[in-house]
Structure 1
């Protein structure tokens, strides 16, 4: 399957980096998908879909081994897996329970400012639909168009989630003061 993804990536250098990414993160991605889907076949499908999306946007990934990339990959595979469960209405409650109880699987980014660390902490406590877009937008620096592509959403949906997420974030930061 790796060869299919390598054909999507443009240059030989990017192909080598993508192969490194594939072997570095595939087990983590499969673990996350399995925890949500409770089915190894579906988990493989989710991981393949995630790698397909990552390959299509691989030029936007600068470093393979960094917390930003790991966070991005975790969000992508988690959202794909949850979407698959939502399609199966009987499993929707199980997916939400996993999201609610799942500890932060993304690596903590090194912090130099206490204020930024506190803001990120509050973002991580928000519901997943707002948390993911806020992390990708504010922490990782992606644009709404890119986030929409990564998560398989409409751009307007991403904008609305950012708007609502910001409002929730401001409210919670005010409450913490």
Structure 2
């Protein structure tokens, strides 16, 4: 707990944090463990949640206890579900023979290869964007998170996420145009 207290500025913040730490740490772990089913991951999520609470301690300190718990519970659940989403994405479906056979039979090897090449090309293009643009587009299209989920993950507002996404798409379009891969006129004619 000392590692958290050194991050806080006032005695009032430290007293508040000590109280919520003692009161909620076991419930936080239990909530996370019931979602991720791994004690090490649940501990990491609890730790991450406490760091988030430190960032927002001034907003929480004067709230009713049930509102504080609701915020903590929501944060723990979001972090736990985000971990599950990241795990799901990291699983390599190529190792599942049934999946691969079904995909090859359904789409054919040429189509699968074209999709793979397109995905590789898009990954290369995304790497040319600034970090917030990369992050928003990856969370939006690759991880399939909602604008609200992205805002929570990035600790910003949904409106800001929408603006970053719009600017990122425009920047990506201009990169495609510069490389002769996109012609807005041709796209409108279709």
TM-score by length of 2: 0.49
Matched residue of 2:154: which SS? coil
Runs of at least 5 residues in structure 2 that lack an aligned partner in the other structure? 92-145, 162-190
| Count of residue correspondences | 109
Distance 1:22 1:65 in 2: 16
Distance 2:90 2:22 in 1: 30
Larger relative contact order (Cα-Cα within 8 Å, sequence gap ≥ 6): 1
Aligned twin of 2:50: 51
CA contact (8 A) 1:17 1:64 kept: no
Distance 1:60 1:75 in 2: 15
Aligned twin of 2:153: 152
Distance 1:91 1:34 in 2: 20
Deviations 1:86-116 (Å, cap 9, x if unpaired)?
1111799xxxxxxxxxxxxxxxxxxxxxxxx
Distance 1:46 1:71 in 2: 16
CA contact (8 A) 1:8 1:56 kept: no
Q: Does 1:12 align with 2:11?
A: yes
Distance 2:72 2:45 in 1: 12
Task: Give runs of ≥4 in structure 1 deviating > 4 Å.
Answer: none
Which of the pair has more CA radius of gyration?
A: 2
Matched residue of 1:8: which SS? coil
Distance 2:21 2:63 in 1: 9
Aligned twin of 1:69: 68
How far apart are residue 10 of structure 1 and its match? 1.0
Runs of at least 5 residues in structure 1 that lack an aligned partner in the other structure? 93-128, 134-146, 162-177
Distance 1:14 1:7 in 2: 11
Deviations 1:111-138 (Å, cap 9, x if unpaired)?
xxxxxxxxxxxxxxxxxx69x88xxxxx
TM-score by length of 1: 0.53
How far apart are residue 7 of structure 1 and its match? 1.1
